[in-house]
Amino acid sequence: MKPIILIGGGGHCISCIDVIEQTGLYHILGIFDLPEKLGQKLLNYSIIGTDNELEQFVPDCPDFLITVGQIKSSVLRETIFNKVKQAGGKLPVIISPLAYVSSNANIGEGSIIMHHALVNAGATIRKGCIINTKTLIEHEATVGNFCHISTASVVNGQANIGDCCFIGSNTVIANNTNVIANTIIAAGSQVLRNIEIAGTYIGHPLRKIR
């Protein structure tokens, strides 16, 4: 198994650990987090450094996964992604063996497809995304860079989610619908028309709240 380091030691990291262990492809060398957490453990894995020490670890462990969660802004995940690349590290695609990803789908570097997610034929998931547990990405849909499609959400056929969006749990995005970049959709919402102004939206019928 190849070594991998996880960056971010919160709740999302716990779920990512389980996915990685299930793949059987990687040995988790440790976790990067804040300096004050050095030496602490998350599940069975130690916090061994911070993202400021990337260059020291890359020669022996070039693979990293960003395990910082994303509820609102994607800025922190983007920043870490760029740090890894600048240090010469790699960000592999991680796919749970309990998920289904069509051989005709495209998954960008650093994205994770979690347990029981389904990514159908012709779908595109760009870099640095979280496709969370039980999410459905239908045929020919596109999910932009650094998006989090949260648990049990449905992105229907030929829908297009712009960069840096958060789609809350149990949200439904209608087919052929466009969601502009930097949009937040609250859990349980239904998106039945294009969203052309970035902001935070909720409900059914959908309304902009900020």
Structure-block tokens of residue 140 = 């020919």
For residues 150-166, give the mean pLDDT. Answer: 98
**Domains along the chain?**
2-86 (3.40.50.20), 93-203 (2.160.10.10)
Query: Quick one: pLDDT at residue 61?
Result: 97
pLDDT tens digits for 11-56?
999 999 999 999 999 999 999 999 999 999 999 999 999 989 999 9
Query: Quick one: pLDDT at residue 71?
Result: 87
pLDDT tens digits for 185-207?
999 999 999 999 999 999 999 99
Full strand arrangement of the beta sheet holding 184-185: 94-95, 112-113, 130-131, 148-149, 166-167, 184-185, 200-202, 207-208
DSSP conformational letter for 25: S
pLDDT tens digits for 48-61?
999 899 999 999 99
Query: Quick one: pLDDT at residue 202?
Result: 97
Categorize the per-residue pLDDT at 167 as very low, low, confident or very high, splitting at 50, 70 and 90. very high
For residues 78-107, give the mean pLDDT. Answer: 98
Sign of CA dihedral 74, 76, 78, 84: negative
